[in-house]
Amino acid sequence: MALDEQVCAVVSANLEKKIPVGRNTDLRKDVHLDSFGTMMIINGLEDAFSISIDDQDFRAVSSVGDIIEMLRTKYHVGG
């Protein structure tokens, strides 16, 4: 599965509500992410990719696309 698809799947699996998730999904406006919601997604990504994510790196993230780029550039996931 491509990185984009995997990340969208992890985000979707950790949301309370069933909404379509894509690169442009805004974590605040579309998902209403709170601190525990953020933690669920971080934990899900850590499990999915066997990495440990620094919470500080996630603070700059505002969309699913940002998550994908962060994983690619900072954590070298997905080649």
Partner 1 sequence: MGTERFYDSLSIDKSAAFETGFNPYYRSVEAVYRTGALIDGESYIDCASNDYLGLAADPRVKDAMKKAIDTYGASLCGTPIASGYARLFTEIGKKLELFTGAGENVIFPSCYQANCALFQNIVGESDTILVDHYAHASLIQGIRLARCKVKPFKHNDMEHLERLLKSDGSTGRKWVVTESVFSTEGSIAPLDRIADLCEMYDAVPVVDDSHGIGVIGRNGRGILEEKNIRGFKGIYTASLGKALANAGGIIAGDPRLIDYMKYSCPGLIYSTALTPSSLAGIGAVLDIIEAEFPARSLRLRQNRAVVLKALKEAAFTCSDGESPIVSVICGSDTATFRCAREFFNRKIFTTAFVPPSVPPGEGLIRIIAGAKLGENEISTITAAIAETGKEING
29 binds partner 1 (CB under 8 A): yes
Closer residue to partner 1 in complex, CB, 7/42: 42
In angstroms, give the least distance from the CB of 29 to partner 1: 7
In angstroms, give the least distance from the CB of 31 to partner 1: 9
Task: Answer whether 52's CB lies under 8 Å from 45's CB.
Answer: no
The CA–CA distances, whole Å, from 76 to 3, 27, 28, 51, 70 equal 11, 22, 25, 10, 9
* Footprint on this chain of partner 1 (rule: CB under 8 A): 14-16, 28-29, 32-37, 39-40, 43, 47
